[in-house]
Amino acid sequence: MKARVQVMLKTGVLDPQGEAVRHALGSLGFAGVQGVRQGKVIELELAEGTDEATVKAMCEKLLANTVIESYSIEM
């Protein structure tokens, strides 16, 4: 069983990595990019029967900094 967790900075939190990517894309001639937000995807291989509540607990305790990041879970 697999779960995919997508972690992104919350709206309003500065994203220096995203800004660096946006700037680099502009330097490479991609003029239409107005904003970039960079996040991370974590794929978990889980034992059968692991529920979404357990994955949520993993996110809350380790995988996401819930002060500045939001996350979504796909089972």
In the chain, the number of structural domains is 1
pLDDT 10s digits, 13-67: 999 999 999 999 999 999 999 999 999 999 999 999 999 999 999 999 999 999 9
CATH assignment at residue 51:
3.30.1280.10
Q: What local confidence, expressed as pLDDT, does residue 31 receive?
A: 92
For 34, 39, 52, 58, the CA distances from 73, given in Å and listed in that order, are: 27, 14, 8, 11
Domain carrying residue 66: 2-74
- Asked whether the beta carbons of 36 and 15 are under 8 A apart, the reply is yes
Structure tokens given for 5: 């967790």
Match 């972690």 to its residue by tokens: 7
- What was the pLDDT predicted at 64? 98
